[in-house]
């Protein structure tokens, strides 16, 4: 064996001895793996300084700069002396038998005024309590009702018309509640309207802050090219300002008529018709098919249906109720 190789072996042995000594200095038993103290043995890559892995080492100064943990907020007492037991209120709202509602409460599915309630003895005031089950708002006031109506052609969106024209009030004369409509459809348009006696819900659905989208199926004159759809989404200048659609796509093109589905948040008078006229495609038929999460579905013209618990809860959630 050459002197060079023998010399290399001696250097390796010396390196191993040094590593063993360092391991012993750190309290490791002899014969174990060589310990690491700020780096690898001589001849290797320089080691990482202690505390460098995962970020800077924690120091007392760093600890002093950390914000103290916020104390937990005390739970709010939602119990109303003299109120109605929560499980009875839920059962009356249609969530199942009283025993099933007790199970919902005990397993933490029910929230009252922002607080999870698991005690079966809690009483609430149905007129003022805000109750959610699995995040869905529950309407507790049995006197409040919300209807979906398929408005036919020729009917005006008002509860009273001085000109004697047919109104939506004529379509709900069999209801005892004092209802008012949410939004409008002109007499030449048809489709979904919502009627309710819940004033807060109606105000929020009409307020632009909540941005409730409305979907329409529109038939227009002429062939609608992709550039027209893009123009409607970018915005169209009208006499009362720029108006934009959220989405536009062609459903069907037959000869010189096109059927399109459009979605928009705008609530200005006759906005859909005016936008299509501005781009050279007059509307021949307009049907509103959805308001927020509520679809028109297969509801026949002139007929109504009461929104179910899930539909109503989803609608209320859409306007932060």
Q: Measured between alpha carbons, how far is residue 134 from residues 4, 106, 129 in Å?
A: 78, 13, 16
Q: What is the sign of the dihedral through the CA atoms of 165, 171, 177 and 181?
A: negative
Catalytic residues: 186
DSSP for 34-78 reads PP-SSSPSTTSPPPPPTT-TTSSPP-HHHHHHSPPPPPPPPPP--
- Taking the C-alpha atoms of residue 298 and residue 306, their distance in angstroms, rounded to an integer, is 14
- Taking the C-alpha atoms of residue 208 and residue 228, their distance in angstroms, rounded to an integer, is 26
Instruction: Please state, as a whole number, how many other Cβ atoms lie within 10 Å of the Cβ of residue 14.
Output: 12
H-helix or E-strand containing 131? strand 131-133
Tokens 């306007």 correspond to what residue? 319
- Taking the C-alpha atoms of residue 170 and residue 195, their distance in angstroms, rounded to an integer, is 13
Q: Which long-range contacts (CB under 8 A, 24 or more apart) does 300-306 make?
A: 300/150, 301/150, 301/151, 301/152, 301/153, 301/190, 302/150, 302/152, 302/171, 303/149, 303/150, 304/147, 304/148, 304/149, 304/150, 304/171, 304/172, 304/195, 305/147, 305/148, 306/145, 306/146, 306/147
Q: Which residues contact 135 (CB under 8 A, 6 or more apart)?
A: 111, 317
């Amino acid at each position: 064996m050459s002197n060079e190789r023998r010399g290399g072996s001696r250097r390796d042995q010396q390196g191993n001895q040094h590593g063993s000594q360092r391991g012993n200095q750190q309290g490791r038993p002899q014969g174990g793996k060589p310990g690491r103290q700020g780096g690898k043995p001589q001849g290797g890559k320089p080691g990482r300084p202690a505390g460098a892995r995962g970020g800077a080492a924690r120091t007392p100064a760093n600890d002093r700069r950390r914000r103290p943990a916020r104390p937990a907020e005390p739970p709010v007492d939602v119990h109303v002396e003299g109120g109605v037991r929560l499980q009875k209120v839920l059962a009356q709202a249609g969530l199942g038998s009283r025993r099933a509602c007790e199970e919902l409460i005990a397993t933490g599915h029910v929230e009252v005024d922002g607080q999870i309630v698991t005690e079966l003895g809690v009483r609430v005031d149905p007129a003022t309590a805000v109750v959610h089950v699995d995040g869905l708002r529950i309407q507790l006031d049995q006197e409040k009702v919300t209807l979906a109506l398929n408005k036919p052609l020729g009917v005006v969106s008002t509860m009273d018309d001085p000109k004697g024209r047919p109104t939506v009030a004529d379509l709900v004369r069999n209801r005892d509640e004092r209802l008012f409509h949410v939004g409008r459809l002109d007499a030449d348009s048809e489709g979904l309207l919502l009627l309710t006696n819940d004033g807060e819900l109606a105000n929020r659905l009409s307020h632009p802050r909540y941005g409730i989208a409305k979907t329409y199926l529109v038939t227009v004159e002429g062939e609608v090219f992709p550039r027209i759809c893009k123009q409607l989404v970018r915005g169209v200048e009208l006499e009362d300002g720029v108006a934009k659609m959220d989405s536009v796509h062609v459903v069907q093109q037959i000869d010189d008529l096109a059927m399109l589905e459009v979605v928009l948040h705008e609530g200005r008078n006759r906005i859909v018709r005016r936008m299509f006229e501005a781009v050279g495609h007059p509307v021949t038929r307009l049907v509103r098919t959805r308001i927020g999460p509520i679809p028109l579905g297969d509801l026949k013209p002139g007929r109504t249906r009461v929104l179910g618990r899930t539909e109503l809860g989803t609608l209320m959630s859409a306007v932060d109720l």
